[in-house]
């Protein structure tokens, strides 16, 4: 079944983890065998061949570069200008993949519909169709000024998550707190003017509710699970999920194991020992459906290889091609065929058609 994934850090894997995503996953892992410099080495799950094998033909692909102040212990760049330059290197990689025929940028409804049409033509081999991608910025620290947001929009950026981990220049994120200042409010208003999508993922609670009040345009949570199942500020509470549902958002199920099952200890727990499989992730998706009273707001935002590898994702996911296991699992839970189609691609399709109409 044609599949949409609304959160993949493809350029980060290419540019920071130094992975040639045109290769089979097995080849990438073989080259990384024995390396321990970064998390997930030798446990890669994402590459273009595996995406095509699972018919993941449209993705929301990120640019990401955090700025860190002198008192911030997180990893990141020491100036917004350095962070901006890094995102431009990531953009250059996406454009190189377009030149190689691997990907095609989607920045408007016409391009999105054309991509859907290509992938619906079963007479054409998956390997002959470029993977459609929409650019999203995860954490807005790299936007030196609002003029840089306009420049980014001009080259194709269509969604922004103002925060990532810790304190940010425009909004505070995971493990931080506090409302947005004037810079963050101005960012949201300019995004509104440009008709961009606001990604609520990673916003701390204070900034979450403030953003809902300020931003009037389309919003989603690209990779977020439920706080009621795994109690952490990275997850959204039922009240937050209900607010997103009321605004017509879609919420992407994230495959980072610590967000799926309670009690996960990083670098200690393992997916099998914690019984962390796709069924447990569907618990989160089903919880959102119960809050909504329908299956119209859930989708996939896998975040696979998002700073972790196979050691920290569901045990029944070997590669991203295993997203194709969702239809059978959802059907076994009692989801009707139309609802299964909605989860795999229909909900995001409806969202973008409305947002871009």
* Three-state SS letters, the chain: CCEEEEEECHHHHHHCCCCCCCCCHHHHHHHHCCCCCCCCCCCCCCCHHHHHHCCEEEEEEEECCCECCCCCCCCCECCHHHHHHHHHHHHHHHHHHHHCCCEEECCCHHHHHHHHHHHHCCCCCHHHCCEEEEEEEECCCCCCCHHHHHHHHHHCEEEEECCCECCCCCCCCECCCCCCCHHHHHHHHHHHHCCCEEECCCCCHHHHHHHHHHCCCCEEECCCCECCCCCCCCCECHHHHHHHHHCCCCEEECCCHHHCCCCCCCCCCCCCCCCCCHHHHHHHHHHHHHHHCCCCCEEECCCCCCCCCHHHCCCCCCCHHHHHHHHHHHHHCCCCHHHHHHHHHHHHHHHHHHHCC
Dihedral pair phi/psi, residue 171, rounded to 5°: -160, 155
- Whole-angstrom distance, CA of residue 73 vs CA of residue 175: 13
Domains in the chain, start-ordered, CATH in brackets? 3-355 (3.20.20.140)
The answer, yes or no, to whether residue 123 has pLDDT greater than 90, is no
Structure tokens at 272: 């099998």
135 pLDDT exceeds 90?
yes
Residues 32/41, Cβ–Cβ less than 8 Å: yes
pLDDT level of residue 8 (50, 70, 90 thresholds): very high
Band (pLDDT 50/70/90 cuts) for residue 199 is very high
Q: Give the whole-number percent of the chain exceeding pLDDT 90.
A: 97
Instruction: Give the CA count within 13 Å in the CB-facing half-sphere of 190.
Output: 20
Max Cα-Cα span within the chain: 57
pLDDT score recorded for residue 114? 97
The CA-atom distances, in angstroms, between 141 and each of 8, 133, 172 are 19, 22, 11
pLDDT band at 326 (very low <50, low <70, confident <90, very high): very high
Q: Name the token pair of 237.
A: 């509470």
Structure-block tokens of residue 255: 């495959």
Dihedral angle, C-alpha 228, 231, 235, 239, nearest 10 °: 40
pLDDT value, residue 262? 98
Lowest mean pLDDT among 98-102, 118-122, 207-211, 351-355: 118-122
Q: Which residue has the tokens 């990141």?
A: 76
pLDDT digits (tens, 9 = 90+) for 154-193: 999 999 999 999 999 999 999 999 999 999 999 999 999 9
In DSSP terms, which residues pair with 173 in a beta bridge? none
Give the confidence band of 121 by pLDDT, cuts at 50, 70, 90: confident
The residues, ordered by sequence, that sit 6+ positions from 30 with a Cβ below 8 Å of its Cβ are none
**pLDDT band, residue 125 (cuts 50/70/90):** confident
pLDDT at 124 exceeding the cut of 90: no
pLDDT grade for 196, boundaries at 50, 70 and 90: very high
Q: Give the pLDDT score at 215.
A: 98
Q: What percent of the chain has pLDDT over 70?
A: 100
Mean pLDDT computed over every residue of the chain: 97
Residue among 198, 209, 139 at smallest CA distance from 174: 139
Whole-number pLDDT of residue 145 = 98
Question: Is the predicted pLDDT of residue 122 greater than 90, yes or no?
Answer: no
pLDDT computed for residue 313 by the predictor: 97
Predicted TM-score of the model (pTM): 0.98
User: Which tokens is 159 given?
Assistant: 């969604």
The residues facing 56 across adjacent strands are: 3
């Amino acid at each position: 079944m044609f599949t949409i994934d609304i959160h993949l850090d493809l350029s980060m894997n290419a540019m920071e983890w130094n992975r040639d995503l045109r290769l089979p996953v097995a080849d990438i892992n073989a080259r990384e065998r024995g390396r321990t410099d970064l998390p997930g080495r030798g446990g890669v799950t994402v590459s273009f061949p595996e995406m095509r094998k699972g018919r993941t033909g449209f993705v929301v692909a990120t640019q990401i570069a955090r700025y860190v102040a002198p008192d911030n212990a997180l990893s990141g760049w020491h100036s917004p200008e350095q962070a901006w330059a890094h995102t431009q290197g990531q953009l250059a990689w996406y454009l190189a993949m377009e030149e190689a025929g691997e990907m095609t940028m989607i920045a408007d409804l016409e391009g999105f519909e054309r991509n859907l049409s290509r992938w619906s033509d079963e007479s054409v081999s998956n390997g002959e169709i470029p993977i459609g991608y929409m650019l999203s910025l995860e954490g807005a620290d790299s936007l030196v000024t609002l003029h840089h947001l306009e420049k980014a929009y001009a080259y194709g950026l269509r969604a922004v998550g103002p925060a990532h981990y810790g304190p940010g220049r425009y909004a505070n994120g995971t493990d931080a707190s506090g409302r947005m200042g004037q810079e963050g409010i101005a960012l949201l208003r300019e995004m509104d003017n440009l008709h961009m999508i606001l990604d609520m993922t990673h916003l701390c609670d204070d900034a979450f509710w403030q953003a809902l009040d300020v931003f009037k345009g389309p919003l989603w949570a690209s990779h977020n699970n439920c706080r009621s199942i795994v109690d952490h500020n990275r997850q959204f509470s039922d009240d937050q999920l209900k607010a997103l549902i009321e605004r017509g958002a879609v919420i992407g199920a994230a495959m980072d194991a610590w967000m799926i099952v309670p009690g996960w200890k990083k670098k200690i727990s393992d997916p099998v020992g914690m019984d962390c499989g796709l069924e447990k992730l569907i618990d989160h998706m089903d919880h959102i459906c119960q809050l909504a009273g329908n299956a119209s707001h859930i989708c996939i935002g896998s975040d696979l290889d998002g700073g972790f590898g196979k050691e920290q994702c569901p045990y029944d996911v070997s590669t991203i091609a295993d997203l194709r296991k969702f239809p059978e699992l959802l059907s076994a839970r009692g989801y009707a065929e139309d609802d299964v189609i909605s989860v795999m691609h229909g909900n995001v399709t409806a969202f973008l058609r409305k947002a871009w109409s």
